[in-house]
Amino acid sequence: MVAPDQSGQSCTILSLIPMHDFTKLIDLAQERLGARILVANDEFFAAKENLLKPGRGVFIEDKYTDRGKWMDGWETRRRRTPGHDWCILALGLPGVIRGLNIDTNHFRGNAPQSCSVDACELPAETNADELIADNAHWKPLLPESPVDPHAENHFPIESDARWTHLRLNIHPDGGVARFRVHGYAAPDLDKLRAATEDINLLAAENGARPISCSDEFFSSPRNLLMPGRAKNMGDGWETKRRRGPGHDWAILALGVRGVANALLIDTNHFKGNYPDSFSLEACDCPSLDPHAPPPDDAQWRTLIEQTKLNAHEEHRFESLDNAAEPMTHVRLNIYPDGGVSRLRLYGKPVSP
């Protein structure tokens, strides 16, 4: 992979971070994306809603409730009958799942022995009673697999299917701190293409996803695609301080191939560490594998020349160069390093 350095010459990027690590992808089970826990068969010690909370959870040594030790996760009572415990959730975004993280952080003597996950695709308005009553729509996503206590348990998923709901099964009982579902949104592309107004082609909810970047030491480029303005400095993309030549960059795949009309780049919360300037390039690779980076011979074209940025500010551009031709990917270049909280590219979808 090559990218232009500050002098305009090409330089090889040795620190390319591929997104084959599924944890780099968007967590489709985030509360801020609309994910919600619907029902669990048991939550005697700790509430099922904790599964979707941010972070890995905390442990407070002397905190107890009238039911026992307070735990920052979902914990069921000790099972004395055959079977297993389960919890059903609706994903925040219907999508393709590339990996699961079943985190048993702080559950040391009370973690499940194993876990499995089932999935289905149903209308968003499907209620919990329907999900419990009819087992026919559930398909196995992760077979029963051992899990370690007090650990992040990562499971890659090989499926291109679109899912809306998951059922986390713990065998036979116990506690899980957090449940992460990494992948990318799979929206109704026909509906997006039928839109009469511009859409954000770089929205996570429209299927946009991170592909690669030069550095993500402090935070991930997937945050650039999240809805709303960043809640703090950690809710953006930030690189380490660059001590050598060159600049940092991130490649993002649009949710749907399109043409662009406007751009917003936001340095919200980045005050002493925003980039000095940025530029934006695009390429069109409609036949590329959804997770592969554009090839080295991809024809990148400039949408915005290198332009100064300000701290803690939304920057809007209503005119872009070379944006009338279709594009599938953009490369955000920041000079020399720093943090950006959000990137929005407004335009219209086109046929594949």
Checking DSSP bridges between strand 248-266 and strand 314-317, what pairing results, if any? antiparallel
Q: Report d(CA 337, CA 275) in Å as an integer.
A: 6
195-214 pLDDT, tens digit each: 889 999 999 999 999 999 99
Q: Which of 193, 321, 205 is nearest to 263 (CA)?
A: 321
User: Do 330 and 343 belong to one domain?
Assistant: yes
Q: Report d(CA 295, CA 284) in Å as an integer.
A: 11
User: Do 219 and 295 belong to one domain?
Assistant: yes
User: Do 193 and 313 belong to one domain?
Assistant: yes
Residue 26 forms part of a structural domain: no
Q: Which of 304, 315, 310, 306 is nearest to 282 (CA)?
A: 304
User: Do 181 and 191 belong to one domain?
Assistant: no
The domain in which residue 236 lies consists of 2-21+187-349
Query: How many domains is the chain partitioned into structurally?
Result: 2
20-40 pLDDT, tens digit each: 589 999 999 999 999 999 999
pLDDT class of 18 with cuts at 50, 70, 90: very low
Q: Is 299 exposed, middle or buried (0-12, 13-18, 19+ CB in 10 A)?
A: exposed
279-289 pLDDT, tens digit each: 999 999 998 88
User: Do 290 and 170 belong to one domain?
Assistant: no
**What is the CB-side half-sphere exposure of residue 324 using CA atoms within 13 A?**
0
Q: Is residue 9 predicted with pLDDT exceeding 80? A: no
Q: What is the pTM for the complete model shown?
A: 0.88
> So what's the pLDDT on residue 23?
92
> So what's the pLDDT on residue 16?
41
Instruction: Please give the mean pLDDT across all residues of the chain.
Output: 92
295-328 pLDDT, tens digit each: 999 999 999 999 999 999 999 999 999 999 999 9
217-248 pLDDT, tens digit each: 999 999 999 999 999 999 999 999 999 999 99
Residue 29 forms part of a structural domain: no
Q: Is residue 6 predicted with pLDDT exceeding 70? A: no
User: Do 181 and 200 belong to one domain?
Assistant: no
157-177 pLDDT, tens digit each: 999 999 999 999 999 999 999
Q: Report d(CA 349, CA 223) in Å as an integer.
A: 22
